[in-house]
Structure 1
Amino acid sequence: MEVLDRHVTSLSEEGRFRLLVDAITDYAIYMLSPEGIVTSWNTGAQRFKGYKPSEILGEHFSRFYVDEDRAAGIPERALATALEQGRFEGEGWRQRKDGSRFWAHVVIDPIRHPSGELVGFAKITRDLTERRAAEHAIRQSEEQFRRLVQGVSDYAIYMLDPNGNVSSWNFGAERIKGYRPDEIIGRHFSTFYTPEDRAAGLPETALRVARAEGRFEREGWRVRKDGTRFWASVVVDVIRGDDGEVLGFAKITRDITEKMETQRALEQAREELFQSQKMEAIGQLTGGIAHDFNNLLMAVLGSLEILKKRMPQDLSLTSLVDNAMQGAQRGAALTQRMLAFSRRQELLMEPIDVSGLVRGMMDILSRSLGPLTTIETSFPVRLPTILTDPNQLEMAILNLVVNARDAMPSGGRIVLRASEESIAAGKGPLSAGRYVRIAVIDEGEGMDTKTLEQAVTPFFTTKGVGKGTGLGLSMVQGLATQSGGRLILKSRPGEGTTAELWFPVVAVEQRAAVAADVRRADDDARRRLRIVAVDDDGLVLMNTTLMLEDLGHTVFEAMAGPEALDILRKESVDLVICDHAMPRMTGAQLAEAIRSEWPEMPIILATGYADLPDGAGAANLPRLGKPFSQAQLADAISRVASQGA
């Protein structure tokens, strides 16, 4: 009875186990005989292999293998491995009833009787096709990403371990930084930093910020393998695991040296353009003020000259007039400097031997320095010829030497040096060509960057109130620029100052010297002329008329060009003196109109500007610089009268 109960109980457990196995649909679970014949078949095996139990029981399990695996004897090796090692496990392609393939994970366990005899095999198969496809897609994506990262050449993309050691290295990193993977992997990334940045702890700061904020981004100098530096844009991102632990860092570096240099050049060009526009605006304002001021000085000087000639010879009165005239002449000198800065001064351009000009100035330069300052010269025996106004060049050199003296209140040495230089194309602010460089070098206090930038700005001075006009360097710069050259200042605090005048070399034709008789014939000087004086400023016109009449000439006044033409059509006229800067019709335009009707009519153009007047042939007109004295006016008339004779 007890034996029967145990048998019933056993049958019940076996039934329950069979129900469990048949209920599993995600695994094919079945039995094989020792020869590999299928002896049982569950629902999962039927579901993804396609065979009903009646179709597969009694068949050899090798029919699930693909042809190439059967030909290679893989089914037999699987059973042999299970027997030898107690278990076989592997993956491979298997075949369904309909011929389609699936990727299977297979486990085969031998089943033995308690006596040790082989009863058969238990075989469990799982369909991993979808998982394998997903894994393949992941691997393919990872491989594509790896190839992408490795193929990037403009960015250094690499990984760091949590301590900052390099753990991967792409082609861009090798190209930018110069290290091969085997030379850098395992080394600390601080290798790429400059010594000063390492000393300041910047590599550690980068990792600390990335840990705390998740990202670190900055620009700075980095060092290549060969020691050269480049300006880098750097991004460091922290990489964390699912538990938040730091696994390492992703680091991207880009060489933006060229971009930085381009940006710097652009900013410099913008600054130079701004300075140029600022100086041009100041120059136009200064030139306009100087022109109007000259007209006022004309009225003052002209009136004082006539007054001095006609007043009683009272010493107390004439001294006052002389004092007033000296003040007006100093004002005229000031306007001349303003015009020099604005490049509107009248220059008498001549070929100049710089060495000879400076040698002729040594006495006046020595007298200007005082006992505490010495001057040394360093000039070659011969220098190429330059073209500029010799008087203005002498004033410019004297101005620079005096500035050097003032920069050394306790005395010192000034070096005046000249040399021939060549400028290559695209080098610096000067055009390519040959130049003569005149340098004035002092041992004074020097200038800081801010003072140096303002040094040539009109009315800027460091000499204190009442001790300088602030137009000296502006005048020097105007002369150099108007002559096709440039003034260059170099200075640092405590290292003195070097002021350089650069003038282009000119080719001067060798011409036979012709002696010019500058003396005017007495009869030309005493000749009485009928003159039309034209000026839109009533004060200037009145004084011009007074000076001409005092010289004995007959004067017809006109305040505009059309009015002067009307006079010429009605009166017999020997000469026209006209202002250039007049509204509606300029002096140059009036000269053209006169030449069209009276081609031989002598014309003198009165102007303070160096700009060539508009109009064909107007540039060849005799000029009279404003403000002019009666003697200068008489000399201009005498020259024109002599040419007409």
Structure 2
Amino acid sequence: MATPELQHSFQTLLQTEENFRSLVENVQDCAIYMLDPFGHVISWNVGAEKIMGYKAPEVIGRHFSCFFIKEDIEQGLPERELEIAKITGRVELEGWRLRADGSRFWASVVVTSLRGEHGELRGFVKIIQKKNTAKEAEEALKIANESQEMQIDQRTAVLKNIIKQLLQQIRERQKIETQLRDSEQRFRAIFDQAAVGISQVGLDGRWLMVNQRLCDIVGYSASELLQSKFQDITHPDDIAADCEYKRQLLAGEISSYSMEKRYIRKDGSIVWVNLSVSLVSDTSPIKNQDSTDSLHYLQSVPKYFISVIEDISDRKAAEQALAESEAKLRKQATQLKNALQQLKRTQLQLIHSEKMSSLGQLVAGIAHEINNPVSFIYGNLDYAAHYITDLLHLVKLYQQQYPATPTIQEFQDKIDLDFLREDALKLLSSMKQGAERISQIVLSLRNFSRHDEALLKEVDIHSGIESTLMILRHRLQPKPGFPAIQVIKDFGNLPKVQCYASQLNQVFMNILSNAIDALEERYITSNICSMPCAQCPTIHIRTELLDGERVAIYIADNGPGMTEEVRARLFDPFFTTKSVSRGLGLSISYYIVVEQHGGELTCFSQPGKGAHFAIVIPLRQK
């Protein structure tokens, strides 16, 4: 960015040039005009219009050879004139020149080359005065002999005045140039000693000027950088964004930009920098074709980019370390969360294992203790039936052979011998049915617990379901104010399934118990037990074989259903909608089906539409 002194000097220079331009444009006795380096007219004063006969719009942009006679053009005089001025800096000559109407006049010409600060050619200034030939002089003497000296004096005075003003302008320009050199020296000192990298970059991306700090940042010498472009050391992933910003600068869409980018150092390592860029433009003279004025300074021409580069590698390293630390903490937090979940599952499994172990031992013990006396009773009932039949037959024979005494007759009437004879066999039959029922319950208890079958075995899934229903039979019976729960079984043709039978039976027990609880909640609290049979409490159990490799067990009820919030957490460890004393929830069932058997346990439910559980396990465990 330019310093205030530079800006002031530049404004002063512009004002000086404006004054000089105004002076030149209003000189009428001399044709003064400027050419670009290729000989095209770029300015035209009043004197040129008067002497040459052209208006400014007619001549601006044309090659100055149009003012030469044909013979001089054929001899290459216009080109030699500029070439000599380019070499010597100034050339004076005389010759014929053409006016706009085709007439010629003898002219005295001074051509001066214009060069920039670094010696580059900027163009030429031509001053032309009309000079009379001998013939013209004779005619002029006849017409204006008396006024010749006065005209010469006037022209001399004008030229002296012009020269004086030109000298003043030159002295002012030299003063400004001195100030600019001083300012440039101060800028150079700041540029070279800055703590950040500073550079000038051409519009094509080439480094034009770099300071030592930038060289230190990227590891290249100044001479190496000045032979390359910024794209050559920019990380490929950052080139597009940098070029897009520069395009926006050149289009005038933004005044500056900053971005973080990566340079590739000479040793191949990556350095992160913060880049701030602005565009430096120059004001160039252009001709406004819609105006009769000869010169206008209207166009801003981009020259180069100024870049400030700050090394932010340490900050980036700190950010990277922080990000890695945060990632490590997040990973540890995830591991801790997983460990906590695993701990909960383990705790749940331990509780369940302890319960199942105790339950298995208890059921096995009870089944054993009950089975012995029941077997004894059941085994002796047939003998007892034979004995009683024989005794009744003996009593009948006594009645036939010996008349009853009054005492015997009285006792027969008291015990109602005929009823006893008829009911005794019915009583024995009922006792036999009761013993068979107890045996079935004992078998169901043993099948449910399977305490002696801890390993994988091929079992009948339907047998496990039937055993579970047998144990829950008392809960399916009608109660005061609550009808019986109807169980609809739709069993498919299933082969034996390799599984942990006691664990799978526990899943059936949990789901069926929950279904019964839900039905009791709906049909007791809502007092709708008198509704039609289609809406009576019902549990539907269906099984089927899937793709020959999996078995599906569906258990559905027409209870109150559940909300999506409850359904989403249904299999979470320790989640339950019941009191703590009534169960551990369905998470252990999920663990048994999914983790132990490699299967799937899903639930579909909506409020008021019951619940539908699907258990899918493979026929064979891997």
TM-score by length of 1: 0.28
The structure where helix makes up a greater share of residues is: 2
